[in-house]
Every structure is written in C-alpha cells, then in structure tokens.
Amino acid sequence: MASGSNGARRIASLMRPSLADSRVCRSCQETLVRRNYSTGTAQAAPETPSASSTSQSTVTTPVLNSKHIIQAGVVLSRPPQITRDLTPFEKSFFFYQKRLNERLVLPFTKYFYFRPKTPLDEDWKRKVKERQTAARDIGKYNAYSKDAWNDELLVGATEHEPENAMETLVKDAESIANATSQDAAKKEEVPKPAPRVTEADKQGDQKSLNRLLQRTLYLLVQTNEGYWKFPSSPVQTEETLRAAAERTLEQAAGINMNTWMVGYHPVGHHVYNLRRPKMDAASETQILGEKTFFMKGRIMAGQADLTKNEQNLKDFKWLSKEEIAQYVLPQYYSNIKNMLPDR
C-alpha cells in the first residue's frame, strides 16, 4: 500500500509541477494557478502510524500567509480631435454622390435674375462655360450635357482627395472675393483650414499631445529599470481605488494637468506573478506578485511633468494603441489591449 501511495504522489507531481520550479515559465505558472488536475489513480488508504514513526519527533512546517500587492493604475487618454481618415473607397463614393447630386438638383433659373442678352446674362454664360458646374470641388463636369452619365472617377484622378477639394474651394472663394473687392490693388486671401498633419507628426515628437489628432493617445511612463507601463502604485490602507488612482497620477505626472476620472470601477486588470515569491519581513507574508486594477481617465488640458515625480520615473510618451505594443512587454500588452479602443 505504501508503494502505491508513493506512486500516486509521483504521478500527481509530474502532472502538476511546483510553481517554484525555475524550469516552469511565467505563463505556465499562471496557468497552473488557475487549473485543477485530476488523475485516475485511486486514493490510497491513510497509512496507520507505526510505533517507530510515533517514537520519532514530529516536524511541523509553519503556514505562511500569501498575497498579491494591490495596485491602482491609470489609463489616461486624450480623445481624438478630428474625424478619422477616409478609406479610398469612402473618398470615391462620397465624390460620386456629389456628382450625382449635381444631376438630380434643379438647374439654376438664370432668367429670373438676368434678362436675356444683357451684359449680366453674357457674363453668366461665360462663367458657366468656364466652370461647367455650380460646385467647383467636383472638377470639370457638366451635369446637364449628353455626357453627364460619365460621372465616375478615372484611375489616378485626385478630385476625390479632401486636400484637392479644399484647395479648389479656397481658390474659388479668393477669386470671387477679388472680383467683388472695392480695392483692386489689394489681394484677398481666404484662411485655409488647419492641416491634419501637425509639426509634431512630422518631427516624430511622441511627448506632444498635438499629434495623431484622429487617434486616441495614452500616457505611458518609463521606470528607472527601463520598463514602460501605465502610471500605477500600491493602494494604501483605507484608500479607495479611485482615490489611489488620482494620487498615483499626481505623484507620477505632476499637477500641471487638468484631468478627471471616468467612473468608480476599473476597466481592466493585470496580474504579475513573481518567478520566486519573496518574504515581507514586517508582516511575515509571502508576496506572490502584483495585481493592478486600471481606472480610466481623460486629460482636458496641460502636460505631464516628471521633474518632481515620487515613483522613480524617468520618461513619458503619448502613444496610440499600436505604438504601445512596441514599448510594453508582450504579457502586459495582452492584458491591457482590450481596454483600449481601436481608434
């Protein structure tokens, strides 16, 4: 019976290796914590203590309390400032709808405004011949000619590009303003819309909030050891998770930011298990690792400042979701990627 019991224990140990074994990777350690294994080996009957065993002194193993350090993390984001970029199909489709609308609307009743064979009527005919359409941003297209059906774009055309439409409309507005201006010597200039690509984009400045305006940016900080992460710190005694997140953000990125927390509940969590648990001599507790719960926040104004941070941080960046994957550890990213929207 003793040999059968030892065999059962050996099989169980092979199917469920020790978490402290250095040959077991971190991912497998987390899996071993979650799984429960069962074997077909029958449970051996408890052995009856013999006289020799009772005569020996009993060795007792102290029971240690184990825990994870609970941390509060902050996913601080800057929302998109402009609309997203259109796909090539969307650009072509919207341009086709513009030309189709030119064919469906009623023509301009010029005789209501201009008497036939008057200077104004002749001037109107000249302008119509030049423009061929009432909407300058759809190019040379006569919606009432016999070739009006041919309203699709040719390969390599740029009329459907937003930049081309913007330049065309600005030039048209400037020509009208100069034609009706009282001062012929002064050239009127129409203000252009702000560019979608900023100087920070051109220079690759990842610390600037004025970049990737069509995407959501997230604040990442770098520890002295070189690891990138979201701002986080241990939750103190009798401190709520939201209060801990607000304190963490102030200690990590300074007070020169106008921010607010979205809700009182975390949007996700990350579990980090130590390869070898360590002892906390003060509380006589075995530390297994860290559990970080992330609170969602928004920045309205200001900028991060690490000059007086209290968490031994040395750098920060404002990154998009795809850029975050290039800086953080793969296991860390696998736990946080579902918290971040694609845009």
Domain locations in the chain as residue ranges: 2-53, 69-82+198-339, 88-179
Other CB atoms within 10 Å distance of the CB of residue 220: 21
CA 276 to chain centre: 33
Considering only 46-55, 130-139, 170-179, 332-341, which range has the smallest mean pLDDT? 46-55
Q: Is the pLDDT of residue 130 over 80?
A: no
Pairing assessment for the beta strands 232-234 and 285-302 based on DSSP bridges:
unpaired
Residue % of the chain over a pLDDT of 90: 41
Over residues 218-247, the mean pLDDT reads: 94
Could you confirm whether domain 69-82+198-339 is CATH 3.40.720.10? no
Q: Is the pLDDT of residue 301 over 50?
A: yes
pTM above 0.75, yes or no: no
What average pLDDT is seen over the chain? 81
Query: How does residue 72 score in pLDDT terms, banded at 50, 70 and 90?
Result: very high
**What pLDDT does residue 41 have?**
39
Q: Is the pLDDT of residue 273 over 60?
A: yes
SS3 category, 96 = helix
Q: Is the pLDDT of residue 28 over 70?
A: no
Over residues 278-294, the mean pLDDT reads: 85
- For the residues of 39-65, what is the DSSP string, one character each? -SSPPPPPPPPPHHHHHSPPPPPPPPE
Query: How does residue 194 score in pLDDT terms, banded at 50, 70 and 90?
Result: confident
| Residue 319 DSSP symbol | E
Q: Is the pLDDT of residue 238 over 80?
A: yes
Q: Is the pLDDT of residue 248 over 80?
A: yes
Residues 225, 234 contacting (CB under 8 angstroms): no
Residues 80, 215 contacting (CB under 8 angstroms): yes
CA dihedral 173, 174, 175, 181 (to 10 degrees): 110
What's phi and psi for 118, nearest 5 deg?
A: -105, 160
Looking up tokens 């106008």 gives 258
Q: Is the pLDDT of residue 155 over 70?
A: yes
Characterize 319-333 residue by residue with b for buried, 16 or more Cβ atoms within 10 angstroms of its Cβ, and e for exposed: bbbebbbebbeeebb
Residues with Cβ < 8 Å from 266, sequence gap 6 or more? 241, 293, 294, 295
Query: How does residue 25 score in pLDDT terms, banded at 50, 70 and 90?
Result: low
**What pLDDT does residue 135 have?**
80
Over residues 48-52, the mean pLDDT reads: 48
Query: How does residue 284 score in pLDDT terms, banded at 50, 70 and 90?
Result: confident
Over residues 173-185, the mean pLDDT reads: 77
> Which ranges in the chain belong to alpha helices (H)?
2-15, 26-34, 51-55, 88-104, 119-131, 162-179, 199-203, 241-253, 321-324, 330-336
If one compares 28 and 217, the residue with the highest pLDDT of the two is 217
